[in-house]
Structure 1
Amino acid sequence: MELIPTGIPGLDKALSGGFSRGTSILIAGNPGTGKTHLAVHVLFNNMKKGLKGAYISFAETKRQFYQNAMESGLNFEEAEKKGVFKFYDMLTMPKEEMKDFLDFLIQDLVEWKPDIIVFDSITVLGQIFGAAMMRSFLHSIIGRLVNALNSLAILIDEIPYGERRVGFGVEEFVVDGVIVLEMERQREVIKRYLTIPKMRGRYIARSTYEYVITDYGIDVIPIPDLRFAERNIQTKERIKTGIPKFDELLGGGFYKGSINLIAGPTGSGKTIFALTIASNMAKQGFRVLYMTFEEALGALLGTTKNLGLDGDFKVISLIPEAMTPIQYYALIKRLLRENSSEILFIDSISAMQSHMEEEDFIKAIRYLQLLSKEKNITLIMTYLSQNSNLLQSTGFSTLMDTITILSYELPSRPGEFLKRYLMVLKARHSEHKAVLRKFKITLGGIEIE
């Protein structure tokens, strides 16, 4: 059976490749869940590949549609000029003329032969003509189009607030597939879920996914298992940190594609330690992205300059804010793609944790693990921890391939200097040295004694 991919990688994976030709798919949800956003991107993604698409709108005019689509970077006007898109404005159509126009519409579609037809929304059609006309429309008109053209019909439908029923209660029983979009508010954030309760002819391994609406489309991601299992990492290639004695403690450096944690209390030198490694890795020719939630960009660049860290790496300063795990995932994935990064520093994940429940924080780390595995990114994170014993008891510490603990000893007498220490607590698949070593911050970064 021929498939029409959605062009959204996570959704295509969930659908085992996409939608089957010759089927009708219902996208349902409350207002604001992104139903139109999803349908429009599926349509546009396929028109970029040369398929023809039609959009029958009962909800907005052609001008409004084009303007709203352009805000997401989708140029339907250009697609229309290329002859791969047609828009049918049903919003301004007088009710008494609509039945006759529907007959014309069907005839025009049969002659033009689009590959994808979107109806937005059939809820409005039902409100105008009633449930009986809705049932006839679904059984007869949609069925005729789908069968005659071997096309994909996407129907958008509303779920009233406070109800589980879709539209008029008949739509989901007539169509071949149903996708339900939901959202819920938790504290400061909105979480969005995509469920596939029905999809004829497609193998659905998992029915529920999280999704996020971005300025470039929709990301659909499997909800990760929160149980941490041992990870198999590639042990053929190591990346030197550029701090010789630290590389020795690690057993030769960080493995490529590994997840690494530098933890310690405030003032222990976590940020400078991370900046030193980032600079050294950039000097080796790696494409490094350094994300900070802790420092202003100017202050961080000033620190690198004062320490003589001249490695050319990208620094991005973000304001810690309430985001869902998948929103962090989508943001970080976009930044990695835009900068073609091989190594990612996050300083610090404690800023993410401060805006999340514990379960959501663990989920965010699991999403970072998925990202590291998916893109073969080496991930180095800092974390605020006052006690190494407390760190070992946290759920996410099991995920880390290496854990380095920083600490310090305050002077006991006037004139004495602060003493800083580090220890590699964990280094998976390595013969590391779990010994306490002194280090100091010098011109050029970190120096281990």
Structure 2
Amino acid sequence: MTEGRKAKARTGVAGLDEILAGGLTRKHVFLLEGAPGSGKTTIALQFLMEGVNLGEPCLYITLSETEEELRDTAVSHDFELGDNLKIFELVPPESLLDADQQQSLLYSSDLELGETTKLIFESFERLKPSRVVIDSLSEIRLLAQSSLRYRRQILALKHFFARSGATVLLLDDMTSDVLDKTVHSVVHGVIHLEQLAPDYGSERRRVRVVKYRGQAFRGGFHDFIIRTGGVDVFPRLRAIEHKTSFTREPVGSGVPALDGLLGGGLERGSSTLLIGPAGTGKSLFALQFVDAAVRRGEKAAVFVFDEELGLLFDRMKALGFDFERLRDEGKLHIEQLDAAELSPGEFAQRVRDRVAVFEAKTVVIDSINGYQASMPEENALILHMHELLQFLNRQGATTFLTVAQHGLVGDMKSPVDVTYLADTVILLRYFEALGKVRRAVSVIKKRTGKHEDTIREFTIGGNGLTLGEPLSSFQGVLRGVPTFVGGDKTLMVASEEGDGNS
């Protein structure tokens, strides 16, 4: 294969270029299709702007929008079009708009289609551009009136541009005939955009490469957003591509009794699930490991779905943790997320950036319940979480996930079962004893080593977590209503500083 055929024209959208294995093969014609509002024009402008930045002459031929509308779109994204990007607004000849001069012996569509093609070729010959965008094929399809004439017209455009050596991007808004796949068989590659409207929250957009001749690409759907400055595509995470080497060593929590319960701590590069009803202390257990990581000189990242950051900072400060100061010192990244405004792909990208750029070695996702709200269905959640946890494990990051169960005591249900994905599962429970509501913790799973099989009571006070001795004299603690079976009394005395929630 010659070097010219291998050369790629980058689209100017980093994530899209990653999906396309470098960009669009030069000297070929590609199709970018999607319903109105899905982002075609923005991507097309970025594609041309990338050419402008490389000093290439670029041409935007518009049959549907006016030049003024396109320039307004560019201004909204802070694009500087420059002199190398020409916009050719293709409008029908005035004679075809004049009712008195309409042809009677020939179909007007014959003249309009021929005139349109002629104007496209003429505009190209004047500029000799390296990159071309034609917006949109729906207008040409309407002029052609039949599939045969439309296919011939597309073939004519393809052969013309093939001889010219230009890289061409055809836009199709799919408003004429969404079932017409004529162009799919003719062009070198097809990129499909979708815009979805969930029951609540902002619209979700995703992209899929349908076809790319002679080129491997990353298949499946990939989330993307449109922001000021253009389109951001978040390639679907494949953990197998991100293997790194690190030393698997135990990491502690700073609470000796908790580390003892865990058999000496957690292994670096493993994931831990904290599961229990609301208020049992799941967040506090995870943040205890965050504080210990920062004290070791490492960085940490916390992603909060369920709680306002100001409240979290105040609550943790009362327990002896000044996370606001750690954030301001650049040792901790803590971010509040809105599940209604966030796609799974964007969230995965944010986590990846915190690990790759911020070099976080401890990651907390609080909670999976909030993360699930951004997912269309539970099956997709499991697949996303599997890849994300595998990625974090391969990067040597110690990950903590929290899941709130429905109910407070007795038979409780989880909204989603991810226990099999985590390397370690810590179970938190309320139980009633001697007229008081108390808390208990146990480790029910640990892949990376031994752990205690005991159940310990714990309290939350001004010094954070305090764990007691194993509840060996009680039975039925996990059911919420234990029975005393004899032996020494092992219940803890309530903290004088008062209990708290987490």
TM-score range (shorter-chain normalised) is 0.7 to 0.9
Change (3 A) 1:373 1:52: farther
Matched, 1:305 2:317: yes
Counterpart in the other structure of 2:170 = 155
**In the TM superposition, what are the counterparts of 1:83-102 in structure 2 within 5 Å?**
85-90=84-89, 94=93, 101-102=119-120
Aligned-residue identity in percent: 25
Quote the offset at 1:264 in angstroms: 1.3
Q: Which residue, out of 423, 426, 433, partners 1:401?
A: 423
Structure of higher CA gyration radius: 2
**In the TM superposition, what are the counterparts of 1:26-175 in structure 2 within 5 Å?**
26-45=31-50, 47-48=52-53, 52-72=57-77, 75-77=79-81, 80=82, 85-90=84-89, 94=93, 101-110=119-128, 113-114=129-130, 116-127=131-142, 135=151, 137-149=153-165, 151-160=166-175, 164-166=178-180, 170-175=182-187
Quote the offset at 1:195 in angstroms: 3.9
Counterpart in the other structure of 1:343 = 362
Matched, 1:428 2:432: no
Q: Which residue, out of 217, 232, 238, partners 1:218?
A: 232
* Separation in structure 1 between the aligned mates of residue 194 and residue 33 of structure 2, nearest angstrom: 9
TM-score when scaled to structure 2?
0.72
TM-score when scaled to structure 1?
0.79
Change (3 A) 1:316 1:436: same
Change (3 A) 1:266 1:234: same
Q: Which residue, out of 256, 270, 273, partners 1:261?
A: 273
Letter in 2 for 1:90: E
Change (3 A) 1:389 1:232: farther
Quote the offset at 1:90 in angstroms: 1.1
Counterpart in the other structure of 1:440 = 459
Quote the offset at 1:303 in angstroms: 0.9
Contact persistence 1:26–1:175 (CA under 8 A) = yes
Contact persistence 1:325–1:363 (CA under 8 A) = no
Quote the offset at 1:331 in angstroms: 5.5
How many residues align structurally? 427
Contact persistence 2:275–2:427 (CA under 8 A) = yes
Letter in 1 for 2:334: V
* Separation in structure 1 between the aligned mates of residue 465 and residue 192 of structure 2, nearest angstrom: 52
Letter in 1 for 2:162: V
Quote the offset at 1:26 in angstroms: 0.8
Q: Deviations over 1:283-324 (max 9, x none)?
A: 333232222222222211111221221251333333443755
- RMSD over aligned CA atoms reads 3.8
* Separation in structure 2 between the aligned mates of residue 340 and residue 49 of structure 1, nearest angstrom: 33
Quote the offset at 1:25 in angstroms: 0.6
Segments ≥4 residues shifted beyond 6 Å: 334-338, 387-393
Change (3 A) 1:428 1:268: same
* Separation in structure 2 between the aligned mates of residue 128 and residue 259 of structure 1, nearest angstrom: 59
Change (3 A) 1:63 1:238: farther
Quote the offset at 1:438 in angstroms: 2.9
